Amino acid sequence: MEKKKMATKKSNSKTSNNDTGTTRLNKFLANNSEFARRKIDEMIQQGRVTVNHKLIIEPGVQIDNLKDEVRLDGERIREKIKKTYILLHKPIGFITTTDDEKNRKTVMDIIKTSEKLFPIGRLDIDTSGVLLLTNDGDFANKLMHPKFKVEKTYIVSLSRPLDEKIRLKLAGGIKLDGKKTAPAKIEFVNKDVFDTVAITLTEGRNRQVRRMFENYGFFVRKLHRSLYGHLTVDGLNAGEYRKLSILEINKFINK
C-alpha cells in the first residue's frame, strides 16, 4: 500500500510544465480528445485549431492549458480532470481547509500534489483521524448529503465518566441551535472504562460531537474519527495518506 509521510512545508522543487498549467498544443489536444498525436498534428497544420480565437498551425506551440481557450473545428476542447481520491490520517494541529488567511498549517500542507484537491467535510484543528480529499465534486456532495446517511464514528475521551442516563439522551437526539440532532449510536469502548466512548453519527454539523457532550457539562479531552463509512486509518500513522482503491470508491458510489 502506497502511503506518504507528513510534510509541514511547501516543496520548493521545480515543477514540470504540466504542473504550472503550460503544455504543448498537440499534447493538450491528444490528452483531451479521441485523436492520436499524429492525427492532431495534421489537424493543426490543416488550420482546424484556434487558441483564444487565433488560428494556430504550429503543433508545438506552448499554451496555458488552465486559461487558454482551445477549439478544434470550432468546438471548445476542455482539459479532462483526472479524478483523485485521497484518505489522510489527519494529525492534530492542522486545519481542514485549502488555505488560511492566518497562515496556519492546513491539511493541504501535508498532501504533496499539483492537483487542486479539497477536503470532504471538516475535522477541527484538535481532531485527528479519517479525512477524505478529492477533486470530484459529485462524489463529495454525495458523501456529505444527509439523505445518503454515511456513518462517521468518533472515539471520544471525556473529562469524566458518562452515566447511562445522559448516554441515552445523547443517543436519542438533543437540540443544538434549536434543531434536534439525529439519533446516534454511543457505546463504551471498554466495558470497564466509562470516560471513553465511540459515537456514530450520520450528520456532520459544526463541532457536533464536542457540542453534544458540552451540552451536559463534559469537556472532550481527545477526539479521533476512527471510521468514515467503511474507511479507517489502519496502517497509516498521523500525517500519512494513500489513494483510495476503485473498490473503496465504488462502495460509496453504489451505496
Q: What is the CA 95 to chain-centroid distance, rounded?
A: 13
CB-hemisphere CA count at 13 Å for 108?
Answer: 16
Catalytic residue among 68, 109, 124, 126: 124
Looking up cell 457539562 gives 217
Q: Is 124 an active-site residue?
A: yes
C-alpha 177/C-alpha 215 separation (Å) is: 11
List the one residue out of 240, 220, 3, 251 whose CA is nearest residue 151.
Answer: 251
The continuous run of DSSP H or E covering 5 comes out as none
Contacts of 41 (CB under 8 A, 6+ apart): 26, 59
Residue 54 is classified by DSSP as E
Q: Are 121 and 185 in contact (CB under 8 A)?
A: no
Q: Are 130 and 233 in contact (CB under 8 A)?
A: yes
User: Would you please indicate which residues are annotated as catalytic (active-site) residues?
Assistant: 124
